[in-house]
Amino acid sequence: MDWLLQTDTELFRYFNGGFVNPVFDWLMPVLSGYHVPWLAAVIISVPVLLWFGSARLRVCLALMVLVVALGDPLVIGTVKDSVQRPRPFVVLKDARVYVPQLRRFDTKGIGYVAPQLDGNLPAGANRHSFPSAHSANWFAMATVAFLFYRRSAFWLVPLAALVAFSRVYNGVHYPGDITAGAILGAGYAVALVVLLQMLWNGLGKKYFPKAFARLPNLLQPEAKPVKK
């Protein structure tokens, strides 16, 4: 296990400090959501898509919201509280970390929190590093979108990967954190879609026969009504 943690640390140093350039210094905080009000964009765009979209698109969007709303606190939050891995900028003095309050990267150890005499971190130190919630949420949404619309993978998966990479570049996660987050997010996204389809097969056919006749398979296009 020690060699794995050491490898993760060395990979962090490589990606955190080996790709430094002015473009990434601007772009990576944006991808992490430091400068872009993602929530506002979602609040504006989702109702428009729901109003003009098909039933299949509405189900897809609802699941994308649901998978984050459930997966983030129940899965990622639980694992984080159990593992309690310190973030890299907390234990690595050479970490290059973006400080949102200062709107710049810190290379002078502002984010570093020294351990106490007993070797433990202070109570206020942020221990929640493994796994990455950003990575899990984006890969969960990308997976749901892919299951409904295969071509969405061409832009959503690279976007999710860039968001995940931004967490390492910004100094708040190790590569192992974002990898675990991506795997977990994709995994419970598939599980949620399968579970919902099973419930729809039983409850939809019984209680919503007309809607079930139009959309028996949530992942397939809605059936057009037959003209008499």
Tell whether 103 is covered by a domain: no
Tell whether 69 is covered by a domain: yes
Query: Using CA atoms, how far apart are residues 214 and 1, in angstroms rounded to an integer?
Result: 52
Tokens 């202070």 belong to residue = 122
Query: Using CA atoms, how far apart are residues 223 and 210, in angstroms rounded to an integer?
Result: 11
Highest-confidence range of 71-75, 103-107, 112-116, 221-225, by mean pLDDT?
71-75
Of the given ranges (68-72, 96-100, 118-122, 182-186), which has the lowest mean pLDDT? 118-122
DSSP string, 183-227: HHHHHHHHHHHHHHHHHIIIIIHHH-HHHHHH-SSTTSPPPPPPP
Tell whether 161 is covered by a domain: yes
Tell whether 15 is covered by a domain: yes
Q: What pTM did the predictor assign?
A: 0.84
Highest-confidence range of 162-176, 193-207, 214-228, by mean pLDDT?
162-176
Report the sign of the C-alpha dihedral through residues 103, 105, 107, 111, in that order: positive
Q: Please say if the pLDDT value at position 39 is more than 60.
A: no
Tell whether 106 is covered by a domain: no
Tell whether 54 is covered by a domain: yes
Tokens representing residue 214 in the block? 């139009």
In the chain, the number of structural domains is 1
**What are the Cα distances from residue 41, in Å, to 11, 47, 139, 198?**
33, 11, 19, 32
Tell whether 113 is covered by a domain: no
Q: What is the pLDDT of residues 70-105, one digit of tens each?
A: 999 999 999 998 888 888 888 888 888 888 777 788
Q: Which domain holds residue 209?
A: 2-84+131-214
Tell whether 12 is covered by a domain: yes
Length, in residues, of the chain: 228
